[in-house]
């Protein structure tokens, strides 16, 4: 089934069920007011949501309406925990070769980081950031939204706890990223809000593309209407089942946790392209001795979409414009950041 959240002014939105073709929708408030509430009561809510989804697809849902992705927030507008991985080791290899050839890492251990989870952006929201000098970047990723995962869950059992799959743009500010990496803790200014496609789907909606804990489909990325890349998720070095088992080694994971894949990256990047600017710039540095692709500027537009074998959009598209942030006070965000550095 496919689920989304209408922007009602409430921080968690209002849960709706969306048809498979993304054309129709119906409110699900009689089952659960929000997606977060449904996740907390999944055993009861899921069968009822599935029945409503079936009725909607059969044209039998009362009070159905035309689906408008512009009216949606992120499917899960906020949650208690977001952990992002860097699970495509090819991306790490390219970045290391370009900038830190002396760096060594253990390819058997996934790279994971705690992220901001209290303010996700919707699929068509303007994305405001303070300063072009922050070197604004994007990262095309997929993520899974989990149910309760007991401590010690094994990889073989982990995928049973995946409730939904989603698509997102993990915005990065590269100027701050390298500085914060060097400080040794985690990202703050380097990783502002993440933007999501309008719809989250249960794994069965992916069909054969959901294999080995991976979404084995192309992630199509366009910058200002021009194709930037379409890497495939099959080359994810750690499947979601392996990432879940690693995180749950010594802790319980609670319903609603979001786990990201990291930016899509393929070995045959000359053919597939990339899903982030940093990787493209690193490739240019390796090939030409310097990067040529500019960071994002105000007014630019990005689009992210993933389609099934029938060319039907699975999650709907993220299609958003990047704009300059405005503030109530007179001090700019760049001045604030500098005063704290």
What are 138-189's pLDDT values in tens digits?
A: 999 999 999 999 999 999 999 999 999 999 999 999 999 888 888 888 899 9
CATH, domain range 77-340:
3.90.850.10
What are 73-126's pLDDT values in tens digits?
A: 999 999 999 999 999 999 999 998 988 766 767 888 999 999 999 999 999 999
What are 264-287's pLDDT values in tens digits?
A: 999 999 999 999 999 999 999 999
For the chain, what percent of residues have pLDDT higher than 70?
Answer: 95
Provide φ and ψ at 299, rounded to 5°: 95, -10
Which pTM was predicted?
0.94
Going by their DSSP bridges, the two strands 318-324 and 127-129 should be labelled as parallel
Place of tokens 């405005």: 326
Report domain extents, the chain. 1-73, 77-340
pLDDT for 341 beyond 60: no
pLDDT of residue 178: 81
* Cβ-count burial 4-33 (b if 16+ within 10 Å, e if not): bbbeeeeebbbbbbbbbebebbbbbeebbb
Mean per-residue pLDDT, 40-46:
98
pLDDT of residue 19: 98
């Amino acid at each position: 089934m496919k689920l989304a959240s209408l922007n009602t002014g409430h921080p968690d939105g209002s849960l709706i069920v969306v048809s498979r073709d993304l054309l129709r929708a119906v409110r699900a408030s009689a089952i659960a007011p929000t997606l977060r509430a449904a996740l907390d009561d999944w055993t009861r809510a899921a069968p009822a949501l599935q029945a409503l989804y079936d009725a909607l697809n059969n044209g039998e849902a009362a009070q159905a309406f035309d689906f408008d992705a512009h009216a949606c927030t992120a499917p899960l507008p906020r949650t208690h925990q977001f952990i992002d991985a860097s699970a495509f080791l090819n991306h790490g290899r390219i970045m290391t070769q370009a900038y830190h050839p002396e760096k060594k890492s253990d390819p058997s251990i996934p790279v994971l980081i705690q992220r901001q989870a209290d303010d996700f952006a919707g699929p068509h929201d303007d994305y405001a950031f303070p300063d072009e000098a922050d070197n604004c970047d994007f990262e095309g990723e997929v993520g899974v939204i989990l149910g309760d995962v007991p401590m010690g869950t094994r990889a073989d059992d982990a995928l049973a706890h995946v409730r939904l799959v989603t698509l997102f743009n993990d915005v990065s500010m590269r100027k701050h990223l390298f500085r914060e990496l060097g400080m040794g803790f985690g990202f703050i200014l380097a990783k502002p809000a993440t933007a999501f496609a309008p719809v989250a789907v249960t794994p069965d909606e992916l069909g054969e593309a959901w294999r080995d804990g991976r979404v084995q489909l192309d992630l199509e990325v366009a910058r200002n209407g021009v194709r930037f890349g379409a890497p495939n998720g099959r080359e994810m070095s750690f499947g979601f089942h392996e990432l879940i088992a690693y995180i749950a080694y010594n802790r319980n994971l609670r319903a609603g946790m979001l786990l990201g894949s990291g930016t899509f990256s393929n070995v045959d990047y000359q053919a597939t392209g990339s899903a982030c600017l940093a990787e493209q710039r690193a490739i240019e540095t390796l090939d030409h001795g310097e990067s040529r692709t500019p960071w994002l500027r105000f007014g630019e537009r990005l689009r992210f979409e993933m389609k099934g074998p029938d060319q039907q959009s699975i999650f709907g598209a993220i299609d958003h414009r990047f704009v300059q942030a405005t503030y109530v006070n007179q001090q700019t965000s760049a001045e604030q950041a500098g005063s704290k550095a």
